[in-house]
Amino acid sequence: MTVNLLPQDDAADQGSEPVDLHGRTILQVLPALGTGGAERGCVDVAAAIEAAGGKALVASAGGAMLRDLARTGADHITLPLGGKNPLTIWRNIRRLEAVIRERGVDLVHARSRAPAWSAQAACRRAGIPFVTTVHAPYNQHSAAKRLYNSIMVRGDRVIAISDFIARHIVETYGADPARIRTIPRGVDLRQFAIEAVSAQRIITLARAWRAPDDRPIVLMPGRLSRWKGQAVVIDALARLGRRDLHCLIVGSDQGRTGYRKELIDRIAAKGLNGVVQLVDHCDDMPAAYMLSDVVVHASTDPEGFGRVVVEAMALGRPVIATDIGAPPELVVEGETGWLVPPADPDALAAAIDQALSLTPEARSRMAEQAIATVAGQYTKEAMTAATLRVYQELLGAPAPSGG
């Protein structure tokens, strides 16, 4: 099935005029403000709404990004929107309807399934537009799960974070292509830029991790989860058989202590103690990328986007990614990185060897191409501007003064 989507270049051309949201109030809803891509996108869009003269509201249970949200000027409303119990969802309809009416909300944007069920009903009662963002190809192993997921394609506009997601929701849920807008995630180039990362930050991180300074660094970022492919990376390095490198697997286990122990045991069983190192959550990922010589994305299930891939490219790092989901849209084989089949240690080993064998000239060319690709297509500014244009499609002209 073919999905007719607006090309990114055309979208950028149409968005040259700034969006005016004066007099408009936009409410974004999600379960909590954690540290993921959906949450970061919510905060970035809230800042853009405020900059465009609108009023940004966010309803969630709160979380680590509350301080970041406060800096944007947006207001946070604490609501238990993550609950999947039908009674909780029903109660949240009334809670959100009250917020919509009391705060004069003009449009609601849902970024997760449970809040979306409540938000859609509240929007219909209040007679205002409803927007969703689909961040992932949700698990659909049962009819009930498929129905639960389907709320995300019922928006008046449905934002897909990649062409892969856009195709998926049309083919799987029968979403109307005319209502879909593909808006990739964006990187903040004030943070993810070579010149923005000082040598001291890189040194500090290397010392904290006791990373060797006489061996190339293979970096694999991402929370410790089986489908992220940490075991595949360990197996690939065992098959590569090189001990003149150091691999940093960086990410929180988020309570999955059993899986962490499995990885530690696997490293030992493969004879890779001293070669592969598990590191917990990192608060300075730009410095982590700059410390590396190659960045590996090894997910065995399709990713909705692939934030790690774009962040690494923004910093000029060679990237190896699995050839499923959205990463094939991001990586140009041999120009900005390499694509390998999922769960294929042999192919991954060969790609790591190829990346570490780049000449300085080839590495420089790859870095330039990767940086240019991100700057041209995957910036925070492009993402927020495109999202505000979706709001404008539904809202039309700015509200009258005082309206």
CATH number, residue 72: 3.40.50.2000
What pLDDT does residue 15 have? 45
Question: Could you tell me the residue range of the domain that residue 75 belongs to?
Answer: 8-186+379-395
Residue 123 tokens read as 């929007």
What pLDDT does residue 1 have? 37
Whose structure tokens read 């900005």? Answer: 336
Least-confidence region, from 175-179, 279-283, 350-354: 279-283
pLDDT digits (tens, 9 = 90+) for 93-130: 999 999 999 999 999 999 999 999 999 999 999 999 99
pLDDT digits (tens, 9 = 90+) for 271-292: 999 999 999 989 999 999 999 9
Largest Cα–Cα distance of the chain, in whole Å?
69
What pLDDT does residue 6 have? 43
Work out the pLDDT band at 14, boundaries 50, 70, 90: very low
Q: Sheet of 55-60: strands edge to edge?
A: 75-78, 55-60, 25-29, 107-110, 130-134, 157-160, 180-182
Q: Please tell me whether residues 159 and 214 are part of one structural domain.
A: no
384: left (phi over 0), alpha (psi -120 to 50) or beta: alpha
Q: Please tell me whether residues 30 and 111 are part of one structural domain.
A: yes
Over the Cα atoms of the chain, what is R_g?
A: 22
Q: What is the DSSP letter of 178?
A: G
Q: What is the share, in percent, of the chain residues with pLDDT greater than 70?
A: 94
Whose structure tokens read 């809803």? Answer: 29
Q: Please tell me whether residues 280 and 296 are part of one structural domain.
A: yes
Residue 398 tokens read as 């700015």
To the question of pTM greater than 0.85 for the whole model, the response is yes
What pLDDT does residue 17 have? 78
Q: What is 184-210 written as a DSSP string? A: ---B-TTTSSGGGS-HHHHHHHHHHHT
pLDDT digits (tens, 9 = 90+) for 237-262: 999 999 999 999 999 988 889 999 99
Neighbours of 1 (CB within 10 A): 6
Is 22 domain-assigned?
A: yes
pLDDT digits (tens, 9 = 90+) for 58-77: 999 999 999 999 999 999 99
Measure the CA–CA gap between 181 and 179, rounded to whole angstroms.
Answer: 7
pLDDT average, residue stretch 378-383? 97
Is 154 domain-assigned?
A: yes
The number of folded domains in the chain is 2
Q: Please tell me whether residues 204 and 331 are part of one structural domain.
A: yes
Is 3 domain-assigned?
A: no
Q: Please tell me whether residues 242 and 363 are part of one structural domain.
A: yes
Measure the CA–CA gap between 195 and 246, rounded to whole angstroms.
Answer: 25
Whose structure tokens read 């990237």? Answer: 319
Whose structure tokens read 């891509």? Answer: 37
pLDDT digits (tens, 9 = 90+) for 193-234: 999 999 999 999 999 999 999 999 999 999 999 999 999 999
Give 364's Cβ-side CA count (13 Å radius): 3
Model confidence at 149: pLDDT above 90: yes
Q: Please tell me whether residues 147 and 30 are part of one structural domain.
A: yes
Is 84 domain-assigned?
A: yes
Measure the CA–CA gap between 114 and 45, rounded to whole angstroms.
Answer: 20
Strand, coil or helix: what is 368?
Answer: helix
Q: Please tell me whether residues 166 and 217 are part of one structural domain.
A: no
Q: Please tell me whether residues 34 and 108 are part of one structural domain.
A: yes
Instruction: Give the rounded distance of the alpha carbon of 204 from its chain centre.
Output: 27
pLDDT digits (tens, 9 = 90+) for 320-329: 999 999 999 9
pLDDT digits (tens, 9 = 90+) for 333-344: 999 999 999 999
Measure the CA–CA gap between 331 and 325, rounded to whole angstroms.
Answer: 12
